[in-house]
Amino acid sequence: MILTDADLQAIGLTLRLASTVTVLLLLLGTPLAWWLARTSSWLKAPIGALVALPLVLPPTVLGFYLLVAMGPNGPLGQLTQSLGLGSLAFSFWGLVVGSIFYSLPFVVQPIQNSIEAMGARPLEIAATLGAGPIDRFFTVVVPLAKGGIITAAVLGFAHTIGEFGVVLMIGGNIPGETRVLSVQIYDHVEALEYGRAHWLAAGMLVFSFLTLLTLYVFQGRKRRSNALSFGG
């Protein structure tokens, strides 16, 4: 058998983590992207910098501080324990929290760029027709920013699939609970099982390439469609 039971378990856990994180990121990141795209508050720059911080911050640094925050003496750890939820550190939901922070810019920025690109005119027209704020968001913003939302979902999912430093710091290496695919590859390499590591690593390489290829093809078709619409 090419893949062991532990490999399949790690793949299943990784897909579950990426799916959960992507859904939560879209729910949390879309309003944040909307605010960043529309606000003129002085807080836009510092909050935008915080959102983008994982792009330049070493994953182990982010993972370390999240681990401290989730620990028994950390603010998040004390909150979850007071609610009877226990500690998030070294748990699946701890990985979810860490992955949300680490993949946040990959979801927020494409949506923010799409909202900024559409301008204020469509919203002003909808307002003159009597559409309320919520109605304008779902009938104007979401359809016009659909390309950015799809891009955000794909990038958020793919980025979560490939995480290593953050998930290792927060979750450790617990089979069936926190041992995701990237950690499983690391285990194979440590055990000098390069053949097994190759199958998993090659699978991730192909997945990443096909994901980006699909995204570029989609964006190219969208640009051509917009150009034809504008030309017409």
Q: According to the model, what pLDDT value does residue 104 have?
A: 95
Q: What is the pLDDT of residue 99?
A: 95
As given in the structure block, the two tokens for residue 2 are 């090419």
* CB atoms near residue 58 (< 10 Å): 11
Q: What is the model's pLDDT at position 229?
A: 53
Start-to-end CA distance of the chain, whole Å, equals: 57
Q: Provide the pLDDT for residue 11.
A: 92
Q: Are 10 and 180 in contact (CB under 8 A)?
A: yes
What's residue 140's pLDDT?
A: 81
- pLDDT tens string 178-213: 999 999 999 999 999 998 899 999 999 998 899 888
Q: Span 5-39+60-225: which CATH code?
A: 1.10.3720.10
**Cα separation of 163 and 156, whole Å?**
11
Instruction: Give the alpha-carbon dihedral of 70, 74, 75, 80, to 10 degrees.
Output: 50
Segments making up each domain of the chain, as ranges: 5-39+60-225
H helix and E strand count, the chain:
12, 0
Q: Give the pLDDT of residue 35.
A: 92
148 near 10, Cβ under 8 Å? no
Per-residue pLDDT of the chain (232 residues; tens, 9 = 90+): 578 888 999 999 999 999 999 999 999 999 999 999 988 899 999 999 999 999 999 999 999 999 999 988 888 888 888 888 788 888 999 999 999 999 999 999 999 999 888 877 877 787 787 777 777 777 888 888 888 999 999 999 999 998 898 999 998 888 888 999 999 999 999 999 998 899 999 999 998 899 888 888 877 776 666 555 545 4
Q: What is the model's pLDDT at position 43?
A: 93
The pLDDT value recorded for residue 121 is 80
Q: Return the pLDDT at 217.
A: 85
What is the C-alpha to C-alpha distance for residues 172 and 193, in angstroms, rounded to an integer? 20
Quote the Cα angle for 116-122-123, to 5°.
85
R_g of the chain, CA atoms, integer Å: 20
What would the two tokens of residue 63 be?
């993972």
